[in-house]
Structure 1
Amino acid sequence: MVGYDPKSECRNNSKVEVALAGSAAGLVTRALISPLDVIKIRFQLQVENLSSRDPRAKYHGILHAMRQILKEEGLTAFWKGHFPAQILSMGYGAVQIYRNLRHGMKMMYKTEGPLAFYKGLPPTIIAIFPYAGFQFSFYRMLKQVYEWAMPGDRKKNANIKNLLCGSGAGVISKILTYPLDLFKKRLQVDGFEEARATFGQVRKYESLLDCARKILQEEGARGFFKGLTPSLLKAAMSTGLIFFMYELFCNLFNCKKTSDNQKTGQVS
């Protein structure tokens, strides 16, 4: 995990503690950013313009979407798909938009077969490697810039550095790979046209290239970046928080170990 220095003199975490810290960081972060994820996906799937000037548009912006979702579906709607997302957030992170995990899996298998679980796989594979690479590369780069730019007395707060650099790395990486994430979401909901009818127009795409071509023709180049604003907020919060929480849990484990060792020494 980036940000963890196994050679650090002030911390000595085991591999198990590092894994637990990463999982706990993913779990807490996913719970906090879930509302932004829900809004982002709604924007990505909306064919109409995200503007009040388009009378057909379901959502116009982040605040408008929040009010609409809260009014029509209640507060819990901001955590739809949270359970499967939490399972995946401990490893990497993804989201689905079904009433619950069992219902979604049963419906997909019954109506479309096992291949339905792999819709949107090509853009996912194409995006995951550069996104991870960008994220870690920019994180290291921003940490170097932070060390160079910050006065000496401000460099002592490692948690703030991890939060700021992690957030910046997440934002940059998300912008560079965002269209592929949008393609993935459009392909994943293929077959659920009837269920999505109340949210506006629906489209059917035959492949990744067909999806990109139709979006460009019907929605313009800006269509590739629908939902970018909540996505950037999510990326900044998610990456920043996960590094922050990771370091925090590692420090907590280390403090507990140090405390236990001190108690053992006193007893002996």
Structure 2
Amino acid sequence: SASGLVTRVLVSPLDVVKIRFQLQIEQLSSRNPGAKYHGISQAVWRIFQEEGLVAFWKGHVPAQLLSVGYGAVQFMAFESLTKLAHNVTPYGARHSLVHFVCGGLAACAATAAVQPVDTLRTRFAAQGEPKVYHSLRHAVVTMYQTEGPWTFYRGLTPTIIAIFPYAGFQFSFYNILQQFSEWVIPAEGKKGGNVKNLVCGSCAGIISKTLTYPFDLFKKRLQVGGFEHARAAFGQVRMYRGLLDCIRQIMREEGPGGFFKGLSPSLLKAALSTGLVFFWYELFCSLLC
């Protein structure tokens, strides 16, 4: 929980930029006059000009709840599952297959637990000025009254489909990279170990995010369904009847590149957030144990 809390503050601006890119129908190019955002630096400057510095932390409260809740459930489930696997299977707790399966199952449990908060975070990050939702309570009440309780679980299907391999790859690649670094680099002091955790975690995050990125984009598009009126100032809007319809429309109108909109800020975020989460996790564990 503590590792997720610290990390979220640092990566929130990248998250806001990523979500804006993912929801933009127009091509992310300066050659497209209808595109609001063209690239990371241009998007950062435009958001700052139009909405101010605080815009980069829109949805920060639900994002913190998301990070703390997700991190706590994920790591608790992961530790429990790896111990169980060690006791009931012939594989050791540090085996890459054990890390892949246990990491994926732990992430599925965490995702189901925090999906409503994730939807709220996306709505806050997606809205411009003037705001549609003025507070977390206002957002919850408005969404429940106008769209019903199931709106909080929009985008759950692509999330579950993607989260198992994403988290599985994340934990297994982290484990592989840790073992590789121990083989290549001699054992060092505590400070060197923390840097190693940061680098291995960052690399694991980049690999995992790239392999599963399109499903994160599908999730974001579905999460803003029923929220189209608040997106009118950002350009074109689309309505999707479900995951398959979302995939078909993106492929038809935006091409294969549409599945990877926002990948650059997403990879920066994945490298920083995953690296920092593992860094703080290992550090806090060493302090507490």
- Short-chain TM bin: 0.7 to 0.9
How far apart, in 2, do the equivalents of 1:101 and 1:153 lie?
46
Write the deviation string for residues 206-263 of structure 1: whole angstroms up to 9, x where unpaired.
0100000110010000000000000000000000001111122233335xxxxxxxxx
Task: Identify if the C-alpha distance between structure 1 residues 153 and 243 changes in structure 2 by more than 3 Å, giving closer, same or farther.
Answer: closer
- Report the counterpart of residue 269 of structure 2 in structure 1: 234
How far apart, in 2, do the equivalents of 1:147 and 1:210 lie?
46
Pick from 158, 165, 173: which aligns with 1:138? 173
- Report the counterpart of residue 150 of structure 1 in structure 2: 185
1:91 is displaced (CA, Å) by: 2.6
Matching residue's letter, 1:231: S
- Report the counterpart of residue 222 of structure 1 in structure 2: 257
Matching residue's letter, 1:97: R
How far apart, in 1, do the equivalents of 2:191 and 2:141 lie?
52
Aligned residues of 2:122 and 2:220 also touching (Cα < 8 A): no
How far apart, in 2, do the equivalents of 1:173 and 1:153 lie?
27
How far apart, in 2, do the equivalents of 1:152 and 1:196 lie?
52
Q: Does 1:44 align with 2:70?
A: no
User: Secondary structure of the equivalent of 2:266?
Assistant: helix
> Which residues of 2 match residues 1-268 of structure 1 at below 5 A?
23-92=1-70, 94=118, 95-98=121-124, 99=133, 100-151=135-186, 157-254=192-289
Report the aligned-residue RMSD: 1.6
Gaps (5+ residues) in structure 2?
A: 72-117, 125-132
Gaps (5+ residues) in structure 1?
A: 1-22, 255-268
Give the share of equivalent positions with the same residue, in percent: 69
Task: Identify if the C-alpha distance between structure 1 residues 152 and 58 changes in structure 2 by more than 3 Å, giving closer, same or farther.
Answer: same
The two structures have a TM-score, normalised by structure 1, of: 0.83
Aligned residues of 2:122 and 2:224 also touching (Cα < 8 A): no
1:118 is displaced (CA, Å) by: 1.1
How far apart, in 2, do the equivalents of 1:55 and 1:163 lie?
40
Task: Identify if the C-alpha distance between structure 1 residues 45 and 148 changes in structure 2 by more than 3 Å, giving closer, same or farther.
Answer: same
Q: Which of 1 and 2 has higher RCO (CA within 8 Å, sep 6+)?
A: 1
Structure that is richer in helix per residue: 2
User: Secondary structure of the equivalent of 2:10?
Assistant: helix
Task: Identify if the C-alpha distance between structure 1 residues 251 and 124 changes in structure 2 by more than 3 Å, giving closer, same or farther.
Answer: same
1:156 is displaced (CA, Å) by: 7.2
Write the deviation string for residues 110-150 of structure 1: whole angstroms up to 9, x where unpaired.
11111111111110111111111111001001112212232
Write the deviation string for residues 36-58 of structure 1: whole angstroms up to 9, x where unpaired.
00000000000001110100000
Aligned residues of 1:44 and 1:182 also touching (Cα < 8 A): yes
User: Secondary structure of the equivalent of 1:96?
Assistant: helix
Aligned residues of 2:19 and 2:122 also touching (Cα < 8 A): no
1:77 is displaced (CA, Å) by: 0.6
1:154 is displaced (CA, Å) by: 8.0
1:155 is displaced (CA, Å) by: 9.2
